[in-house]
Chains A and B, each alone.
Chain A
Amino acid sequence: MYDCADIERLAQRYVDGKLNDEEKMLFEKHLEYCLPCDKKIEFELKLKEIIRIKAKEKFNPVDLEAKLMDFVRKLN
């Protein structure tokens, strides 16, 4: 059985999908009956997603295409 300290210790590896099958099963078992841990993990997953979405630069594909063509020309 995992306790809350195990959840804290393994949280980041869980968020990255890095636990093995047994660890994952025990981890999720704990979340099923421990609401505070469940909420924390949900928050961490959301935060990871938010960072991916908000930190990624959005470039205009036309600009990128132009840059690439520009670069290829310089190779000549």
Chain B
Amino acid sequence: MPTERQKEFAKLIEPHLSSLYSTALRMTHNQNDAEDLVQDTLFKAFRALDQYQKNTNFRAWIFRILVNTFITAYRKAIKQPQKISYDDMEEFFLYKRLDETVSLQETNKEEFLESLFEDDVKEALDNLPYQFRLVVLLCDVEGFSYNEIANIIDAPSGTVMSRLYRGRRLLQRYLWNYAKTRGYITDDFKKKS
């Protein structure tokens, strides 16, 4: 029989379990590793439960443990971020590329977004360097605020913003590349002359 403490813990975790798995999957790229990561996170959280202050932000608290666990477990595996050129990291990259195409006129830009496959969006995210991916996931997928993310990843909010904005710009480039290779942009794709 579960003890009171275990029951209390299960009740706290339950609303966040899906988010924890979802994030773990995007960070580890595979089901088994994601399972392990979430499980390790939960063990640590259970042991540290006394440090959690009641009625404070449990969701941010548990995500902070998830991120720490991920970084500790993958420290050696995580490659140093490749040198990414930020020269052409212009704002509105995807919009501008779509705008230059003949086959995608005004009304179709949002339809284009709707038509993206879930797997393409996930793959684009998976390809981001992990620091960027983490921040984009926490903000855009899980809905954390800048301050919460700063707390979760233990970095100043200026760092959160710069990683988030760069991450999103990179993501737009990846999505544009998919659009070209997966045939979202049809044969008559060419630059407006």
- A residues with a Cβ closer than 8 A to B are 8-9, 11-13, 16, 18, 39-40, 42-44, 46-48, 50-52, 54-57, 59, 61, 64-65, 67-69, 71-73, 75-76
A-B Cβ contacts below 8 A, count: 97
Q: Which of B9-17, B60-68, B79-87 contacts A (4 or more CB under 8 A)?
A: B9-17
Task: Give the chain B neighbours of A59 by CB distance below 8 A.
Answer: 18, 21-22
> Are the C-beta atoms of A12 and B122 separated by less than 8 Å?
no
Number of chain B residues whose Cβ lies closer than 8 Å to a Cβ of chain A? 45
Closest B residue by C-beta to A17: B145
Task: Give the chain B neighbours of A11 by CB distance below 8 A.
Answer: 91-92
Q: A40-B95, A43-B109, A47-B113 are in contact. Are A52 and B17 (CB under 8 A)?
A: no
> Are the C-beta atoms of B165 and A54 separated by less than 8 Å?
no
Closest chain-B Cβ to A12's Cβ sits at a distance in Å of 5
Task: Give the chain B neighbours of A67 by CB distance below 8 A.
Answer: 17
Main secondary structure of the interface of B (DSSP, over half): helix
Task: Give the chain A neighbours of B13 by CB distance below 8 A.
Answer: 68
Closest chain-A Cβ to B171's Cβ sits at a distance in Å of 8
Task: Give the chain A neighbours of B22 by CB distance below 8 A.
Answer: 55-57, 59
Task: Give the chain A neighbours of B117 by CB distance below 8 A.
Answer: 54
How many angstroms from the CA of A66 to the CA of B59 in the assembled complex? 21
Q: Which of B69-77, B136-144, B184-192 contacts A (4 or more CB under 8 A)?
A: B136-144
- B residues with a Cβ closer than 8 A to A are 2, 6-7, 9-10, 13-14, 17-18, 21-22, 25-26, 39, 42-43, 46, 91-92, 94-95, 106, 109-110, 113-114, 116-118, 121-122, 125, 136-137, 139-141, 143, 146, 161, 164-165, 168, 171-172
Closest B residue by C-beta to A61: B18
Q: A47-B172, A75-B6 are in contact. List 6 more A-B contacts (CB 8 A).
A: A16-B139, A40-B95, A43-B110, A51-B125, A72-B7, A76-B6
Main secondary structure of the interface of A (DSSP, over half): helix
Closest B residue by C-beta to A50: B113
> Are the C-beta atoms of A55 and B121 separated by less than 8 Å?
yes
Q: A11-B91, A75-B6 are in contact. Are A54 and B116 (CB under 8 A)?
A: yes
Task: Give the chain A neighbours of B165 by CB distance below 8 A.
Answer: 12
